[in-house]
Structure formats: structure tokens, C-alpha cells
Amino acid sequence: MGIKEGWQGRFFEDFEVGDIYRCRLGRTITDADNVLFTLMSNNTNQIHFNTEYAQRTGFEKPLVNSIVTLAVVAGLGVADVSENGFALGWDRIELPHPVFAGDTLYSESEVVDVRASKSRPEQGIVKVKTRGLNQHGEVVIEYTRSVMVWKRAHAPLRSTFPEPKTPRTA
């Protein structure tokens, strides 16, 4: 038996307009995720960390910081969209439904444009429309972004796994 390569993400040639990628993973947001990120980003809006305050806003409990929602949904899509590239820009971000601690988020991205890069012939630009859904199927975030993606023949060295210094034992 030999070593079998794992999933290495899509390269520019793998994208076609109309393709839809659904991440196989979901991610449950915790109170700790929300409070930690809110503190790390110096966000002083009490709606994210003060239950008494949040109850007075009509939401009844703290809202998950929208940047946490964006980060988790974007992160869930990396393996399908940007594993072999980097973000160029975000066209718009909409938050049609609130997220609360305990919600599980899922990511779905649709390819809306694919084109070769004029300035980087070894890469191309892929534009996706991504939706984040909660466990009830409600859309909690929707955005469009562009990603610069490597063409397969020009991608940086993929093998970063170190060679073992001792042989494998049976």
C-alpha cells in the first residue's frame, strides 16, 4: 500500500460557472467563540456579550458578532473555493437572520464568474456567491467575493509533509 494523497482543493481549471459547493461540515457557534472574538476585536457593543442588555433589544439573548459569522462561513468554504488561492475582495455582505450561540452554521458557494487573470497568467479569478445557513435552513449571511486561484501547473509546492526520519514499521 502506498501513500494516498488527500483532498488538495480546487485549482482554477476546476471551476465552472454554475457549480455549487456545499461544505460537508457544520460548525456550532459557542458563547466562548462569540465573547472571545468580540473581546479580541475590541467590539464594545454590549449586544454581543451582555445578556441583560441583549434582553432589552428584542433579541432576548446576545447576538453572535457578525464577523464571527463571516469568518466561520468563509472558513467552511476554504477547502472548496480558496484552498489554492487568496481573497481579492468582497462585493457585499448581507445578514438577513440573526445568529445566536448554539446555532450550527453551514456554507454553500455558487461559482458566478471565472476568468483568467490579466496580470498573473499563472492564476485566474473566481467569483462566488456564498450563503451561510443555520441548522433550520435559514440564510444568516450572504456575500459575494472574488478569489485569485492558482492554475494547477503553476501552483506552489503542495507537499509540505516532512519525510519521517525512521522507517514505517509493520
In terms of phi and psi (left: phi > 0; alpha: psi -120 to 50; beta: otherwise), the region of 18 is left
Superfamily the domain 12-154 falls into: Hotdog Thioesterase (3.10.129.10)
- How far CA 68 is from CA of 13, 14, 45, 55, in Å, comes to 31, 29, 14, 21
pTM assigned to the model: 0.91
pLDDT value of position 1? 67
8 Å CB contact between 99 and 27: no
Give the pLDDT score at 7.
80
* Percentage of residues of the chain with pLDDT beyond 70: 97
| pLDDT, position 5 | 78
- Mean pLDDT for 64-76 is 97
The pLDDT tens digits for 138-170 are 999 999 999 999 999 999 876 778 888 888 887
Residue type, 12: F
What is the Cα Rg of the chain in Å? 19
What pLDDT does 158 receive? Answer: 66
User: Which H helix or E strand runs over 139?
Assistant: strand 139-150
